[in-house]
Amino acid sequence: MNFSQFLAELKRRKVYKVAAAYAVVAWVVIQAASILLPAFEAPAWVMKALISAVALGFPVAMLLSWAFDLTADGIVRTADAPGQKPSRHTGRKLTASIIAGVLIGIALTLFQNFRGEFLRQADWTSKSIAVLPFANASEDTSQEYFSDGLTEEMITGLTQIPELRVIGRSSSFRFKGQTQDARTVGRALGVGNLLEGTVRRAGNRVRISVSLVNVEDGSQRWSETYDRELQDIFAVQEEIARSVADELRVALLGQEIKATAEPSNQNLDAYNAFLRGQYEFGQFNVGSTRRAIEHYKEAIRIDPRYARAYGELAWSFCRLGFFTGAAGRDAFAQGREAAEMALQLGPEVASAYSALAYIHMNLDWNLAAAEGVLARATRSAPRDPRIKNTLAILRTYQNRPEEALVLRRDAVALDPLDVILQGNLATVLTILGRYDEGEAAARRGLELQPNSSLNHYLIARIHLLRGDADAALREAQAESGEIYRNLGIALAQTARGDRAAADEALATMIRLHGQDNPFRVSLIYALRREDEKVFEWLERAYTAHDPRVINSTSEDLLKRFHSDPRFIAFCRKVGLTPPVG
């Protein structure tokens, strides 16, 4: 058979048609997977395996289309061309040999490409742990803060082990008070081990019972009970961390495990105040943030060299500044003082680094200074989700959203049930135009905490970008955070074209939030296409030193001004690099 006859035979056996159909179906499958797999947080190797399977399946499909034909009577072997009289036995033998060879090749390729991936995944899981909230077994329910604080300090202590992946506080505390079995909790958190326990405090004595559970079969790998005087609490934390590390066979590379919340003078009153601050900080609202600040200040009053208390105080002031907008300048300034003091006392305090970087971005509008601080922070605590999240914020402000996405995903992997991290992930996905994935992340946040602030607003913004103003209005009206609800409603009513409703919503926004959040008012005018008002309110935001001005280049409602000389000048005045186009 010459070459032209071979091509004719390919056409007669419909190999060309099968190739074209296979290419179309493969493209659809890969596109669907690229949307759905991230939405379900599938590991990266799943997509790699799918693409490899699709690629390796092509020669199999071509071989089958050559050997067989689909007819009204079902799948039959393709008849030989007229004039050809090959041996039927030989033809079948050849076909079977080729199929076997292709299948063996596929198996070997998959084994070679994904053996390392599967092994890494198994190793990653075996060296991962979540510390579940220790149950308060004391008769006094007011001691809840103590058991919660001890849990947080165990999390912090274990994160110092470089080879151990430790799930963050927000995700672990989702299971507080629940009685789900180890396998269910482990699957939800993506870990191979759980540390759980109880704390009973009576007077000056404390009993801590802990156990390390293997998620795979629910068996206990190790358990211990510690009866100690309260002054020994710091040594107990270190002892538990070491025992966990030994059981997981994690090499510590000679590094010391320290109870990082330990006061410099081991004063229990200072430690108690610190734990109360941690408890209040975890509630995430303005009132609890102010109470956390007072507890941290009390810890510092008792022990003026308490580095970790200064670091957490700095982050509490940052959060207060976030909540209060332009009125938060004093909070940011006090946060800077606390962060700098923390780093003087303890150069390894990760919370102080990330707080200082956040202040450089939102108060100073100095991205270069934030970059330098976060470089040191990453070396100090490479697996801290708070640092990864803060670095992602910086990358977003620097117009590097792809890098921000990688960092956001890393942060979520370290603390998968943290509502704030899910919202931040949704934000960067929206900036990248990946609306379905962004909505999925925001809805995961709502599943974790239905009354959480921001997520309904984020979904409303996605609906606006899709052109569905009615859906945006419904989501905005469901938002629990007042400022996000009012902003979302104003944007949605503007997009709907209801002028009277839009004017009323704008007036509400200006009356309630115009003084402290002028930048957000400028966004409403941008959607209304009142350009002079946009720049008027941007200038107000600059004058009031609204922290959100630093969002100017990443805000999609301001994209149409990127080539406007006024916007370019504004960005330079703030210290931002004007975006291209």
Q: According to the model, what pLDDT value does residue 192 have?
A: 84
Q: What angle do CA 44, 49, 51 make, to 5 degrees?
A: 100
Q: What angle do CA 423, 424, 430 make, to 5 degrees?
A: 90
Dihedrals φ, ψ of 522, to 5°?
A: -60, -30
285 CB-side CA count, 13 A = 9
Is residue 292 predicted with pLDDT exceeding 70?
Answer: yes
Mean pLDDT over 529-549 rounds to 95
Distance CA 479, CA 539 (A): 28
Distance CA 56, CA 49 (A): 10
Is residue 446 predicted with pLDDT exceeding 80?
Answer: yes
What is the average pLDDT score of the chain?
81
At which residue do the structure tokens 């996905």 appear?
429
CATH topology of 128-251 equal to that of 266-382?
A: no
SS3 at position 497: coil
- Per domain, the residue ranges of the chain are 3-125, 128-251, 266-382, 533-581
Give me the percent of the chain exceeding a pLDDT of 70.
Answer: 78
CB-based contact 200:146 (threshold 8 Å): no
Distance CA 38, CA 50 (A): 14
Over the stretch 102-141, which tens digit does the pLDDT of each residue have? 555 555 555 454 444 443 444 445 678 888 888 888 777 7
Over the stretch 349-385, which tens digit does the pLDDT of each residue have? 888 999 999 999 999 999 999 999 999 888 878 888 8
Q: According to the model, what pLDDT value does residue 115 have?
A: 47
Q: According to the model, what pLDDT value does residue 425 have?
A: 95
Closest CA to 209 of 144, 150, 126, 149: 150
Considering the segment(s) 266-382 as one domain, its CATH architecture is Alpha Horseshoe (1.25)
Residue 558 has what DSSP assignment? G
Q: According to the model, what pLDDT value does residue 91 have?
A: 47
User: Is 172 or 498 the better-scoring residue by pLDDT?
Assistant: 498
Q: According to the model, what pLDDT value does residue 220 have?
A: 80
Amino acid at 397: Y
Mean pLDDT over 393-420 rounds to 91
- For 541, counting Cβ atoms within 10 Å of its Cβ (0-12 exposed, 13-18 middle, 19+ buried), the class is buried
Least confident span in 309-318, 425-434, 572-581: 572-581
Least confident span in 238-247, 248-257, 355-364: 248-257
Give me the percent of the chain exceeding a pLDDT of 90.
Answer: 38
Distance CA 61, CA 24 (A): 13
254: left (phi over 0), alpha (psi -120 to 50) or beta: left
At which residue do the structure tokens 């979904």 appear?
459
C-alpha separations of 419 from 101, 284, 551 in Å: 50, 11, 21
SS3 at position 78: coil
Dihedrals φ, ψ of 513, to 5°?
A: -130, 0
Q: According to the model, what pLDDT value does residue 255 have?
A: 46
Is residue 276 predicted with pLDDT exceeding 90?
Answer: no
Distance CA 100, CA 96 (A): 6
Mean pLDDT over 325-331 rounds to 84
pLDDT level of residue 217 (50, 70, 90 thresholds): confident
- The CATH H-level superfamily of 128-251 is ABC-type transport auxiliary lipoprotein component (3.40.50.10610)
Q: According to the model, what pLDDT value does residue 487 have?
A: 97
Q: According to the model, what pLDDT value does residue 116 have?
A: 45
**Other residues' Cβ atoms within 10 Å of the Cβ of residue 90:** 9
